[in-house]
Amino acid sequence: MKHLPALFTALVITTVIGLGILVIGVNALTNTNTVALQNSPNSSITANDPANNNANTGGSSATASSDVQQLQQQVSALQSQLDQANQTIQQYQSLLSVLQQREIIHIDQNGNIYLPEGSESVFH
């Protein structure tokens, strides 16, 4: 007997949520308000206006090639930054190697750096 009220409550809640989803979906499908596309060379083009989308395919080729050039320049700049970072890392590695050879520091397998016992630390 206790199952009947629980089943009825679950059915009511499911119906209310289903109707809410249906109302939101119908509202989204029938919405006539449009928003301009972001990052578009022509901001007056809207997502629901196929006439404008088909009319501007010729101009998008020049925009695409300029975008490709910008991306290539960015890749080149990032590559040079990466090369500089790799050079800096190599310098630090060679410095650590020299310090380790002169037994000024000791580096364990986990990468922890230790000063030998009995030496004074310059890091206060």
Mean pLDDT of 50-67: 65
Instruction: Give the tens place of pLDDT for each residue, 7-43.
Output: 888 999 999 999 999 999 998 888 887 776 676 665 5
Q: What is the model's pLDDT at position 51?
A: 52
Report residue 10 as tokens: 């679950």
Report residue 26 as tokens: 């119908």
What is the SS3 assignment for 114? strand
Q: Are 120 and 112 in contact (CB under 8 A)?
A: no
pTM: 0.42
Q: Are 48 and 58 in contact (CB under 8 A)?
A: no
The residue ranking higher by pLDDT, 120 or 94, is 94
**Within the chain, how many helices (H) and strands (E) appear?**
3, 2
The residue ranking higher by pLDDT, 113 or 61, is 113
Report residue 105 as tokens: 């520091």
Across-strand partners of 114? Answer: 106
User: Which residue's entry shows tokens 């397998």?
Assistant: 109
Band of pLDDT at residue 95, cut at 50, 70 and 90: very high
Angle at 16 between CA 14 and CA 18, to 5 degrees: 65
Instruction: Give the tens place of pLDDT for each residue, 62-73.
Output: 788 888 999 999
Q: What is the model's pLDDT at position 75?
A: 93
Question: What single-letter amino acid sits at 14?
Answer: T
